A and B are shown apart, each in its own frame.
With several copies, the nearest count.
Chain A
Amino acid sequence: MIEFRAVTKRFPDGTLAVTDLDLIIPPHQVTVFVGSSGSGKTTILRMINRMVDPTSGSVLIDDVDIATLEPVALRRSIGYVMQNSGLLPHRTVIDNIATVPLLDGVKRAEAHKRAYELMDVVGLERSLATRYPAQLSGGQQQRVGVARGLAADPNILLMDEPFGAVDPLVRAELQVELQRLQRELGKTVVFVTHDIDEAFLIGDQVVLFKPGGILAQAGPPAELLQHPADDFVTSFIDAGRPRSILR
């Protein structure tokens, strides 16, 4: 379980990115952060692995205040997948997947063995292992990103718009894949997206943010759809819904 307690983040330049946030992210479920650009989703996500530290308030993982944890170690224990995959362009696919085990000092052969298994898990042909990221398609890169996120077998997986940069067809495929994976692995997934459709599709819980990192509403998709907390929620959901009169 991840818990935000009265968390506020003000950047040095004065931007108030997160405002007094209280939020509980349940374990073994997919929680989706959604909101328009600049609403603080990424900032909040990054507080979980201490890429950003709160200005005030605290973040707890399983009741431990993470401010007391060593950031580098914490990060290695949490999977992180981002848009454009964030792969290391100078490392082969297999080395990219094995990044964290290798950092942790696991032997190369062993780390690679595990990485090959992960390639199967995320549906990548093993023959791609010695390619460089630039030699993969966008969808393949994202799969590598997910595999890397899973390599240290973390309990928590943070995903920041992981499918934001791929083709709609590939995107649909990856969404299905993610759902399958999650059924098998049961990680605590925090997933950021712009796309309300995507949020409703894959989220067990959806958290909608207003600009300034203000929580608009949090709950299962059905709740947001049937009982929107306010006009903002309604209009946000409407903007993302099909607008064609034909449906």
Chain B
Amino acid sequence: MNPYTGAIAWLLDPAHWTGDGSIPQRLTEHILYCLITLVIAMIIAIPAGLYIGHTGRGRAIVVPFTGALRALPTLGLVILLALWLGLGLIPPLIALVVLAIPPILAGAYAGVESVDPVTRDAATATGFTAWGVLTRVEVPLALPLIVGGIRSATLQVIATWTVAAYLPLGGLGRFLYDGLPVRNYAEMLGGSILVILLALVVDGLFALTQRFVTPKGVIAGRVRDVRTPTRSTQRKERTWFAPEA
């Protein structure tokens, strides 16, 4: 039996749909772990990202730091924390939050930074308070990128919780680590399929959300042609006189 038909059979086997360690149970656990991770990461990263994007302060520290966080091997971090803190959800949770922070942070500050300085400037000049500029101008315009950051963090978190199941944990990664020592391809592949499906469904939902949160006016202004612009001279502002500094 090739691994794929085996995996399908494994997935369809009613025995795997009830009881302890069943697919619904592992799936629920996995989603729960991911949700907790993301909520914590967002609580930390979004305000920080907005602050950096809005003020431009701290960028020089935070950008290389998040780069370094990306280099941190999650498996190592999970294990280190597990040796430190013992069994339970907390060690991998910390490691996964650390993993989720960089993309969310980057999305938030890149989003705010991507707002045209002219727009921001004009908003201030017309009498928006600093808070007003942030909440009514920058955040709405940054929302697609903010959601983009959360989206990419979510995908990473979904994938990495499976790796973290090296520790005694639930979640879909269980199927991988349980199948691995006995080379139960059906179980491992079945589990992988579940993870991938979960990731794709979530990704699809995010794609919809991202479209939904993109301000209509921004869509209207977007260049539709994906090819390289060959008419760029036309789109460029008419610098009839001297160029703006």
Contacts and interface: CB of A to CB of B under 8 A. Distances in A.
Given A37-B243, A89-B218, A90-B140, A100 B118 contact: no
A90 B218 contact: yes
B226 interface: no
Contacts of A75: 124-127
Given A75-B126, A82-B122, A99-B126, A90 B216 contact: yes
B217 A165 contact: no
A133 B128 contact: no
Contacts of A131: 220
A83 B233 contact: yes
A24 interface: no
A51 B215 CA distance: 27
Contacts of B13: none
Contacts of B121: 51, 82, 86
B241 interface: yes
A80 B122 contact: yes
Interface string A143-169: 000001000000000001100111110
A165 B141 contact: no
Contacts of A42: 233
B124 A132 contact: no
B221 to A, nearest CB: 3
A148 B127 CA distance: 12
A86 B119 contact: yes
Interface in A28-61: 36-38, 42, 46, 49, 51
Given A73-B127, A80-B125, A82-B118, A89 B217 contact: yes
Contacts of B20: none
Contacts of B245: 37-38
Interface residues of A, number: 42
Contacts of B215: 89-90
Interface string B188-213: 00000000000000000000000000
B48 interface: no
Interface string A64-101: 00000000110110001011111111111000000110
A38 B127 contact: no
Contact of A87 (B122, B127, B234): B122
- Bin chain B's interface residue count: 35 or more
Given A84-B237, A89-B141, A90-B140, A36 B242 contact: yes
A5 interface: no
A138 B127 contact: no
Contacts of A51: 121, 124-125
B217 A90 contact: yes
Contact of A76 (B116, B127, B240): B127
A103 interface: yes
Interface string A190-211: 0000110000000000000000
Given A85-B122, A88-B122, A134-B222, 12 more contacts: A38-B234, A82-B118, A82-B125, A86-B123, A87-B122, A90-B217, A132-B216, A133-B221, A134-B218, A161-B233, A165-B238, A167-B243
25 contacts: A37-B238, A72-B127, A72-B129, A73-B127, A80-B125, A83-B244, A84-B236, A86-B122, A88-B123, A89-B116, A89-B119, A89-B218, A90-B140, A90-B141, A100-B127, A132-B220, A132-B221, A133-B221, A164-B240, A164-B241, A166-B238, A167-B238, A194-B238, A194-B240, A194-B242
